Amino acid sequence: MKIGIFSNKGTASTRVSNALKSKILDEHLTLDNDHPDIVITVGGDGTLLSAFHHYEDQLDSVRFVGIHTGHLGFYTDWRDYEVDELIDSLAHDNGQSVSYPLLDISIEYSNGDQQTMLALNESTIKKVTGTMLANVYIKDQLFELFRGDGLCVSTPTGSTAYNKSTGGAVISSELNVVQVSEIASINNRVFRTLGSPVIISPHEWVRVEPVQLDENLMTCDQKMVENRQIKSVTYRISNRRIAFAQYRHTQFWKRVSESFIGVKPIDQI
Per CB under 6 A, the list member of 37, 77, 149, 221 interacting with ligand NAP is 221
> Rg of the chain's alpha carbons, rounded to an integer?
20
149 in a known ligand binding site: yes
Cβ-based nearer residue to ligand NAP, 10 or 70: 70
Beta-strand relationship, 223-224 and 198-200: unpaired
Q: Which does 160 bind (CB under 5 to 8 A by kind): ligand NAP, Mn ion, none?
A: ligand NAP
| Numbers of helices and strands, H then E, in the chain | 5, 16
- Cα→Cα distances 112→29, 74, 97, 133, 210, Å: 48, 38, 40, 21, 15
Q: Is 45 a catalytic residue?
A: yes
Cβ-based nearer residue to ligand NAP, 27 or 258: 258
Is 70 an interacting residue with respect to ligand NAP (CB under 6 A)?
yes
Residues 63, 85: Cα–Cα separation, whole Å? 18
- Cα→Cα distances 262→78, 79, 117, 253, Å: 18, 18, 35, 12
Residue, CB closest to ligand NAP: 46
Residue, CB closest to Mn ion: 46
Query: Torsions phi, psi of 119, nearest 5?
Result: -120, 145
Q: Name the segment binding ligand NAP (CB under 6 A); options: 28-36, 38-46, 100-108, 198-206.
A: 38-46
Residues 254, 266: Cα–Cα separation, whole Å? 17
Cα–Cα–Cα angle for 238, 243, 245, rounded to 5 degrees: 170
Per CB under 6 A, the list member of 4, 36, 66, 73 interacting with ligand NAP is 73
Q: Name the segment binding ligand NAP (CB under 6 A); options: 70-78, 98-106, 198-206, 225-233.
A: 70-78
Number of residues interacting with ligand NAP: please give it, by CB under 6 A: 17
Active-site residue identified among 26, 34, 37, 45: 45
Is 46 an interacting residue with respect to ligand NAP (CB under 6 A)?
yes
Residues 77, 30: Cα–Cα separation, whole Å? 22
The 3-state DSSP class for residue 108 equals strand
163 in a known ligand binding site: yes
Cβ-based nearer residue to Mn ion, 75 or 146: 75
Closest contact distance (angstroms) between CB of 190 and ligand NAP is 27
Other CB atoms within a 10 A radius of the CB of residue 60 amount to: 8
Q: Name the segment binding Mn ion (CB under 5 A); options: 36-44, 73-81, 205-213, 243-251.
A: 36-44
Cβ-based nearer residue to ligand NAP, 50 or 229: 50
Closest contact distance (angstroms) between CB of 267 and ligand NAP is 29
Q: Which of 122, 119, 107 is nearest to 164 (CA)?
A: 122
| Interface residue list for Mn ion (CB under 5 A) | 44, 46
> Which residues are annotated as catalytic?
45
| Interface residue list for ligand NAP (CB under 6 A) | 44-46, 49, 70, 73-74, 121-122, 157-158, 160-162, 165, 221-222
